[in-house]
Amino acid sequence: MSAPAKKTAKRAAAPKPTAGTGQPATGAKKAAAAKKVPAAPKKSAAPKASARPESHTALVRRARKINRELAEVYPYAHPELDFENPFQLLVATVMSAQTTDLRVNQTTPALFAAYPTPEDLAAANPEEVEELIRPTGFFRAKTRSIMGLAKALSEDFGGEVPGRLEDLVKLPGVGRKTAFVVLGNAFGRPGITVDTHFGRLVRRWKWTDETDPDKVEKAVGALFPKSDWTQLSHNVIFHGRRICHARKPACGACPIAPLCPAYGEGETDPQKAEKLLKYEKGGFPGQRLKPPQSYLDAGGLPAPPLAGREA
């Protein structure tokens, strides 16, 4: 081998120096150098932080994708108050303030059996109505509201629930949220129902920072076509009750975690998060005594009657 070739071979075989030392990284020094190399970060379900604020177009796309994902998770999402006609839905919705839909559903069968029409309820003995709806809480104020709206329906609308927003909000105890529940689910007219679950989730998702329900309704409504509003409300409320809870969201079991700016506020461990799931997601009864067939087909269970155990 010629002299130049020998020099080339020696240079190729020589160990490379450790960065910052100029010394060969051999044996223990190689191992020490390897330990200083940081491990690759683990992938997280959380969305990547962006240095730039989200544009309106990007927000619309993300919001609509979230709704599509929720529609796949909850294809059976529905209003969780039992009702057979617009009058029953209106009364049940007014009664649902400051209590659960489950408790209302456990209470209304006896109420509607005793007073099946607005005329019957308007002529009732207030003390008897109070006793029937006592389990829902605030029963005196609720009695005044439901008897007042029953009287208004009897005197002003021929005993029928009106199908217009401007008429509904004139009834005692009826605001925009209640009106949209009735319009969307009894009359098929689109509306956004901003209850506590809906408001909490849309703020977590950064769809809006508004806290006033009317402003939330307007802001979120601008992100979706009007035809989506009623079902969007069901999808969001279902998710809020089952997975994205107020105190401890089950982030590790959330199907829209990659789209959620608030990922990590709750339990991220999948096994621990699974234990937080409620209603049919956790194998428990839902809110309705008489749920839609689609809900039952999906594995949902009817709620127990008033005397039964509340899940």
Residues noted as catalytic: 177, 195
d(CA 11, CA 110): 94
User: Any residues with CB less than 8 A from the CB of 139 and at least 6 apart, and which?
Assistant: 130, 133
d(CA 261, CA 258): 8
- Structure token digits, residue 104: 């209302």
173: left (phi over 0), alpha (psi -120 to 50) or beta: left
Tell me which amino acid residue 154 is.
S
103-120 b/e (C-beta count within 10 Å ≥ 16 → b): bbbbbbeebbeebeebee
